[in-house]
Structure formats: C-alpha cells, structure tokens
Chains A and B, each alone.
Chain A
Amino acid sequence: MLNYDIVVIGGGPAGMAAALKAKECGVDSILILERAETLGGILEQCIHTGFGLQYFGEELSGPEYADRFIQQVFRQKIEYKTDTMALQVTEDNKVYAVNKTDGLLEIQAKAVILAMGCRERPRGALNIAGTRASGVMSAGTAQKYVNIDGYMPGKKVVILGSGDIGLIMARRMTLEGAKVECVCELMPYSSGLTRNIVQCLDDFNIPLYLSTTVIDIKGKDRVTGVTIASVDENRRPIPGTERDIECDTLLLSVGLIPENELTKNVGISLDRVTSGAIVDEYRETDHKGVFACGNVLHVHDLVDFVTQESQIAGEGAAKYVLGQKAEAEYITTKGVGAVRYIVPQKVNIKNEGDVKLFFRVGSSFKNATVKVSYNGQEIISRKRPRLAPGEMENVLIKNDMLKSFSKDGVIEITVEA
C-alpha cells in the first residue's frame, strides 16, 4: 500500500493545475495518475491554436499549453504515473489503480482530486437510424487519428454537431485534403465559440446548416451517404425537407459528457444538469476529502477556465489536508429561467475570500441583464452585451457580501432580456 496526501486522478490540464496549486499551498506528497502514455490529456491532440489567451495572454497550441504545465510538474518534482488507470475510489479515500509495471496499486490518500475529463456522446445516444457501416465516429476520435496517428479517417465528410471539436475538425480535415460537405446543427444556434465558426467554417466556405440533423446513414461496409433534414421547434425532422448527401464519413460532435463512473461508484451526488458532482466553492464534493475539477465537473469551453477552476480545487484539497478548511455553513446556488446551471452548487459563508459563480445559459441573448438575488432580494445586476450557450459566464460574490448571508440561504441567478 502506498500513502499520499493527495492523489490526483487525471493528468490533463485540470489534474496538473490542481496538483501544482496544492504543492504551492504546502502539500508535498502528491501523486498524479494518468491513463494515457503521457501527461497533457486531450490537449495533446488539439494541435490548433487558441489556447491560453485568457490565462497566459498569448495564443498557444494545445500541446504547448499542456507543456507549460508538464514542465512545472517536472520542476516541482510532483510524482506521476502514466499508462495508469484508476479503477476505484473507496469510502475511505483509497484509490485502486492498475498499470503494466506496478500491477495493481493500492493507494491511501488523505484527499482525492477527480480530474478525469469528459467523453464524447456516441451515435447510439442519438439513436440515428441507418446502417452500421464503418465511417461513423466522434470528432475527437477522428482528431486523434489525424493528429496523433497520422492517418485520414475519411475523404468526403459530413459533420453533425457544431460543438468546438466539430468545427475544429471541419478545418483540420479540409487542410488535410478532405472535402467537408457541411456541418449540421440540430439547434437553431451553434454551441461552438464564435471565433471557431468564423475561422473554421466561414474561412473555408463550409456551410453550417442550423436546425438540421442527420436522419439516416447509408452504406453497407463503409458509409456512402447520409440523409439530412430540417427540424421543427421540437427538434423533430420536417417531412419533405430530406436531402441526401454523398459522403464516406460522418463525424459526430454532439456533446460532451463528464466521465463520472468513479465518482458515482463512491456514492458522490451528481448535478442532473452538469452531469458532474455537486461541489462547494473549493470544488469539494459531498464525500469528505474528494474534490472535482475541470471537464469531469462540468464541460468547459476554454481550457483557461479549467486551469483556474482546478487551482481552486488544488487549494481546497491542500487546505483540507493541512486542516485549514473553515467550518462549513452552506448556502446553495440556483439557476433560474435561462440559467441552466451554476457551479459551485453551494458556498461556505465562513470562507475568507471572494467567490466566483460560473454559469451557463440555455439560449442566446443580446444586451441582457444578469441578476443575482439572495433569498429573493436582488443583490447584483450586470449588463451583458451578449450571452450564448457556448460561452460560460461568471459573477463575483465579494467576501463582505458573503459574510452578510446566513446558513441555508439561496442565491439565484437569472437573465432578463
């Protein structure tokens, strides 16, 4: 049995930032477990730029962004094991993991930081009709084939879903010589970043069809085409709008799901909207000493925010290990109307600092007002020129305001058009 103060599950941007912060806060005994061959997580296959604008104030590629943290991990001599899969977290914060060299690892941790990231929604979850031909894959899988393995997964491509990975892959496949016929989006808006729609579709004359979905996949062995159709306001295909498109590949970018199997197995409560754990302002779950951050907690649009959030979790875990966590008196947070969710879901009013509440809206707004209320009374009102489902927002609750709240109070955030 091994013993560590903090075990971090996942060596992507979330896990590394959390580990580094915990180290900075005075915890030395830290182990990162990473299932891939290297640290860095999914960033390693994101060779496009656009990372780091918020956090570093410069534009980096995914591997460059990851490398800044990997170098820090080396410099800080934080221990890590790659090619190592965590199998289980127990009631008493023991972690079971497995790899080829150590075999089965049994690690007793004081605190555990969950940073396993997310996975892509597969075809099955959409129930798209048609054949089972080869050539249907998630955009992220295609990204790995192209950027890591160096092979093309198709030549004539239709992309379903205008999430960022779908948009990025539309450009990437085009640059590698494939013809991207179109990107279809079920919703009347794209969930991707505006800059990605401009730089990945518009610049390459790739059409984006909103309120459109794929209703049939054709081809016996390899995909030979798909049928697309417009959908009504209930997202049901409209008869008569069907159109066949010849292609050999259908890439799916239809949403990301936090990968919370370990979380569920240890009995941690999950938020139905985020599909991640319910956490406090230090990203501690309702299981004592278990923290969560990054895309396993809720899906982020920018890695920069993942880093910031994970630093909060790292600090929280360090405080927990060092016995510095304040006694808890929680208020809860609640998204109302267009506000789909808020992270954190609860806040300790004994906390000595300011607390940022992150939230996401369910539809687009222009010149809207974000209103925060405490027990029904408005406490903050902020104008926003635009709000979009694809872009996470936040409001800051100052510490003096926090201090004025009392236990079991409720903070609500809403948006007024």
Chain B
Amino acid sequence: MNYDVAVVGAGVVGSLIARELSRYNIKVALLEKCNDMAMGTSKANSAIVHAGFDAKPGTLKAKLNVEGTALMPELCKTLSVPFKPVGSLVVAFSDEEMETVKELLERGVANGVPGLEIYDQAKLREVEPAISDEAKGALWAPSAGIVCPYELTIAAAENAVVNGTEFIRNFAVEAIDYDGNEFTIKSADSSIKAKTVINAAGVYCDEIAALIGDNSIHTVPRKGEYMLCDKSIGGLAKHTIFQCPSKMGKGILVTPTVDGNLLIGPSALDIEDKDDVSTTAGTLAQVLETAKKSVPVLTTREVITSFAGLRAHCDRDDFIIEKSEKNDKFINVAGIESPGLSSAPAIALYVKDIVLGIIDGEEKADFNPVREEPVRFRHMSNEERKALIAKNPAYGRIICRCETITEGEILDAIHAPAGARDVDGVKRRTRAGMGRCQGGFCGSKVVELLARELGVEINQITKFGGDSKILYERTK
C-alpha cells in the first residue's frame, strides 16, 4: 500500500499526530509493533497534565507543555476522554526547598504558566488535609490536571481511523529504504510505501532513526515504578502532590486518578532493556517510603496493583522534533519524556505544520473531530440503564462485577474502530478487570467474548498480543 505519511508508533504522540493529519486529504498509516495502541510509555506513566513550570524557558519542552496543557481540556472533551483539572502542588519540606519552589514559580511565569501561587503551610494544610506536618509550603498550579493517558491514545487513534487513517497493528518496523522519492517500510512479513515518515517510536526512536542511517538520537529508557491504590483511599489526595524536582525528574508524586484511585510513583532508574517493565520489591518499597514524606498515612494495605513504565529519555535534554539531518522527509519526534503527555496535543500540531511543509494537504470538509463517548453503564442513572437494556439486552449482562462493566460495553470495545484484540485491550477500553479482583472472575468471560466475536478458539486469545497466551491445549 502507498501512503503519504507513515507514523511509526501508536503511542499518545503518534496517535494524536495521525489524528491531526487525518483532518487533511493525506493518506496516513499508523504503524504499531504491538497488538494495540498505547502499549509503551503511554499506558504506564503518571497520567498528569503538567502546568509547565519545570522546563527551562526557551526550550521546546517549555513551549509545547504550556500550549499542550492549554489544549488538553477541550481536546479531552471532543474525544470523550476523562480529564480533571485538579491542579498541582509542589511541596517544600525545608527553607531550602521553599527557595526551589520560588524558582519554579519564576520559571513558570517566564514559560507563561497561568495562575501560579505560593501557598504557606496553613493554606497548604487547608487545601490538602492529608499532607505531612513537615511540609512548609508549596507551589500551587491551577492549570495542571489529570487525564487517562491510554484512553486519550485509544480515542485519538480511533478518531484518526474514523477519519481515514489506517491503523496497522503488529507491524514492527525492521527496515526503511528510500529510493529518492518514497520510503519502503518493512516489517518481518509485509511492507508499505510512504512519502514521509514520522518517527514517534518512543524508547525505540533511536533504532528507527538508525534504519535510515541517522545515529544522532540516543535514547535511554528511564524506568519508573508505580503503585495503584484502591478507590477507598482515592480521596486522600485532592490534587497532584509533587515533591521538589531533582536531576532525574519530578520525583515521587501522590495523585488522584481520573477513575478515582490513588497513584503513587514513579521511581527513576536508567536501564538498558527497552522492554523491561518489571517491578522490583526494593524500588516499590522505596517509592512508598518517599511518598509517605508527602502523605504519611499511606500503607501497602490499599495497593491493588503495581506497574512500571519507561520514559524515552534523550541525552539532548529537550524534545527532539525536527527533520532528520539524513533525510528531510523523515521527521524525528524523539525524547518525548515528561511532560510528553501534557505536550502531546501541541506536539501533534507542531508536527502537522512540518508535514504540511513537505507535502500538500487540504483540509477535508467531512473531518469529524468528535469521538462519541462509549457507553459507561456504571455512570448511568437507573432510568438510562432501563432504556439502554431495552435497546440492547447485552447491556443487561454484567461481566466485570467489581467495576460493573456489561457485555455490551465489551462488545463495543471489540467492535470499535481499531478495537480491542486482547484481554488487556478490553481492560484499557472498558475497565473490565481493573477492579479489586483484577480479573479473577471476569478474565475468563472476557476471553470467551473475544474468541466468540473474533471467531477464534479461546486458546488463541492473548493477554496483550505476541506470546502472551492465556490457555494451552484442551484438557484430556
């Protein structure tokens, strides 16, 4: 197949770029090496929309963070993605840290961050009752918020597909040839052609760039481990609570999530293996210890799961969003670490402008920016539920009892544009299996539904593609 643009990587950045390009009469392929979108950094991060006071003024990070954060509320509304403008606090525990907080305020003002304010101890205690007695004060940033990062990615990719983008999963790019006119992009068993390539491959950006001889990018996967706590203590933090930043990042945060859980993390450790998202007991214990500095009442009792994600840290210490020096039709979108999620909406616009400088594109009259909100049975009134089940009885059968997810919602997730193909895909789209029992009861039912709807044997269904199969052969 021939495309105008091939986007390599269906993370939040790649998916939003594809969606932005799908406004134009440009043929776009969104290539993903995994069985689903949002399988790398985009599914395992702090889920924070940063206000934008961290990055050095004048950097791309500073510019795109503030712009992206400003775009986020409206974008989430259009794509029906949960977003909550909870605001953030950077807490200082000493006079020295109070100085840092003041520096952050100045930097934020230089970056154009709105509404920043220094809170003293009393005010901090008032707005965040669970905060440690040791906290001296904080920087308050009202424009910060929380978002569901994988839902944003899924929604963006779905909307791109509805507007003509082709989503090609299980396409791990192994070679890229250029004949002077167009690129041939090859996976192990197929290939496509494209006039331009956008490298949005996250921690693999360096390897994708190297395929055209561009060795300028040096990515270091920086692992962050997290713990997710039960909804019963979701209200413990009212805002995103940061500690003062260090060289390795923004430190350990305690934050509510859009689903009402409490998230603690991340650690920061540079590693070599780009697929290593394992957690370690020592690091998790350390994460909790550090988080307790902010919110002392935290314990392991309420932890329902832990996970790790990799940040695509680059040695240039800024986002790298530019044409490759090896080929000016190959655009690197590299080093998208924090505040990458916050910046993603602005990155998409920035990249769109670069692309339109390379190829001609006209806005389509029939572009539909809206992704309808999926049915959420658990959020409905009883009247709405009655009407829904009358229309489609599948919404009357509860599959996931912890999160109250119906068969109808799971079928919707499977049959969505670029829908779920595996158990984790259903989980990210519907929350089935994300509750207290973590799929203990509904896991097997989700497997059955996937097999039935995709027309395969149940032992063909995987947890997340590849060799992550769940069942072997039939019993004796």
Contacts and interface: CB of A to CB of B under 8 A. Distances in A.
Interface of A: 35, 83, 85, 87, 96, 98-104, 106, 119-120, 122-125, 127, 129-135, 137-138, 140-141, 144-146, 149-155, 176-177, 215-218, 220-222, 237, 257, 259, 261
Interface centre among A122, A140, A154 (most CB of B within 10 A): A122
B476 A120 contact: no
Interface centre among B393, B469, B470 (most CB of A within 10 A): B470
A138 B402 CA distance: 16
Instruction: Say what secondary structure dominates the interface of chain A.
Output: mixed
A226 B162 CA distance: 43
A349 to B, nearest CB: 36
Given A145-B444, A222-B468, 7 more contacts: A85-B401, A98-B385, A124-B306, A127-B300, A153-B472, A155-B472, A221-B469
A149 B382 contact: no
B437 interface: yes
A83 B397 contact: yes
Given A129-B280, A129-B281, A151 B475 contact: yes
A151 B279 contact: no
Interface centre among B402, B462, B466, B472 (most CB of A within 10 A): B472
Contacts of B444: 141, 144-145, 149
Nearest to A177: B476
Interface centre among A83, A141, A218, A261 (most CB of B within 10 A): A141
B305 A104 contact: no
Sorted nearest first, the 4 A-B pairs with minimum C-beta distance are A124-B305, A122-B438, A134-B463, A221-B467
B280 to A, nearest CB: 5
B57 interface: no
A124 B229 CA distance: 10
Contacts of B227: 127
B471 A125 contact: no
A96 B382 contact: yes
A141 B445 CA distance: 10
Interface in B381-419: 382, 385-386, 389-390, 393-394, 396-398, 401-402, 404
A98 B473 contact: no
B94 interface: no
A134 B385 contact: no
Interface string B451-475: 0000000110011111111111111
A322 B394 CA distance: 39
Given A122-B440, A144-B444, A152 B472 contact: yes
B216 interface: no
Contacts of B278: 129-131, 216-218
B304 interface: yes
A133 B469 CA distance: 9
Contact of A152 (B300, B307, B436, B474): B474
A124 B471 contact: no
18 contacts: A98-B397, A99-B396, A103-B389, A103-B390, A119-B440, A122-B437, A123-B305, A129-B278, A129-B281, A131-B277, A131-B278, A133-B463, A134-B463, A151-B458, A151-B474, A154-B472, A221-B469, A222-B467
